[in-house]
Structure 1
Amino acid sequence: CHFWLPNKRRHCANSHLSSSQYCGNHSPESSSDSRRRVPCPVDPSHTVFEENLEAHVGKCPFRKHADALAAQPYYSKGINSGGGEAGVAAVTSAAKRASVHKLSEEEFWALVAKIRSAHTAAAVQMRESYIAPDACDKWMKGQVDRKVPYQEKHVVQQVSIVGNMETFGLLPRGGAEDAMKEIAVKTAPAVVEFGAGRGYLTQMLADCYGIKNIFLVERRSYKLKLKT
């Protein structure tokens, strides 16, 4: 697709239509008033033609995932929604995302201005805490498998996450060698990462701190995941 994404500084990665240089999401014909595209209520990360919305919802592939999740014995709808005020219906995350996707450009920037104004009024002093532990040297110096398609900015961010975990006592100081001396097999720590993505953060923990008990939880199917 030839549509330019200024924020990502690249073209859209979707395949273009056979009759156009653009994909279905960015086709000029799709943006006309006669065929307006709207966010899918099941998963607003994709859009459909408004006139096809009802039919699409019934066969949306994300619907199967949502139904499968709802059928799990541990699932409780809205358990983490917060609030709980009597008589006030909880607004789902999907509904919030859909509302944002429906905003016009003018409405979007008005929302951004309101958020910035609220942040300024709160006058919260954010404290930066960038910590790079010695245990992560090989990641910082690029001494890892170069087949891993990570970017330097992600490594810096993840190293600091790990460094702050060490500072708060969640990880043993000194990295893998010291960890093996201090921790018996029966008391070895386990790491559960929710929203693990491609698994690079937990891979860093395994490489630098020798953690073997790892559980990654991710609902989406990502390409270029780290191999175990």
Structure 2
Amino acid sequence: MSTTFLHCKYFVKRKKRYCKMLVKSGEEYCGEHQMSSSLTKARIPCPLDPKHTVYTNKLQSHLRICNARVTTVPSYIEKNINVGQMEYSSASDMLSPYQILSTLPKNKVLEVITKINNIYQNNVHISEKFLSFPVVEQELECHSEYGNKTRKHLKQTSAILGYLNECDMLKADTCFIEFGAGRGQLSCWIAEATTQLNNCKILLIERASPKHKRDNKLSKTSDRIQRIRADIADLVLEKLEVFSTVKNVIGITKHLCGSATDLAIRCMVQSTLTKCKSTSLLFTFCCHHKCTWTTYTGKNFFQVTIFS
């Protein structure tokens, strides 16, 4: 009587346990550890990256899509163009650009704290405004089964669209750029909100390749949406064709973490599009603790206003 293995029978020596991958019906090993002597089922290390294996009969098709393949760098990619520069006053600063708070004189720390408090009290005026957008609100009303996480993100999307609408940014002849687009939920709602407007484009920028992208459902029936896989640090906007037929360019973010927000700001400001197009920004911030001094766009404020 043969034994059925639900999990792969291969013993991983490095981890001192059996492989936890599930196997196909009638098989004892997962695809990665397939030990069949049949030529069509034999697996070999990928020639481009030996960290993973591939079936010999599918080698050629795999080489065309393998993530390790050498690809031509697009014209709109220029390494670290939006990163900014680190200013060094000495060789020691170059080795250690960050100062530990406990090494600074106490009076200097207190002086900086006093300056920050005075600047906040005299110049920062925060007001609250809760906006929404009918199309997204209708989605919430029609789907009471949505969980708290889904409803939270839809509420945030509704608010962003509400601000776009109030600031007269939902208009024709416009390209909306979503930096750090993820699965593209916000962009898809912008596409929905601008359906009746002429010549509206949506550009999604994301360095990862997430599954279940919402824009895939729209791209089959519309050429308005374009997704580019790129790091914001390397992106040169004016070299993209999508801007050639529009008059307005609007940059948008939703939960763009830390220094990525600075990269997106610099990407927009440094672009020559600001000279020939009407450009606007509507950014929502996230994860301030992930900001870095090198990429930070407000260095002058700290150096002149606070530390001078």
Q: TM exceeds 0.5?
A: no
TM-score range for the pair, normalised by the shorter chain length: 0.3 to 0.5
The alignment's TM-score, normalised by the length of structure 1, stands at 0.42
> Greater helix percent: which structure?
1
Higher RCO by CA contacts (8 Å cutoff, separation 6 or greater): 2
The alignment's TM-score, normalised by the length of structure 2, stands at 0.33
> Greater strand percent: which structure?
2
Asked which structure has the greater CA Rg, the reply is 2
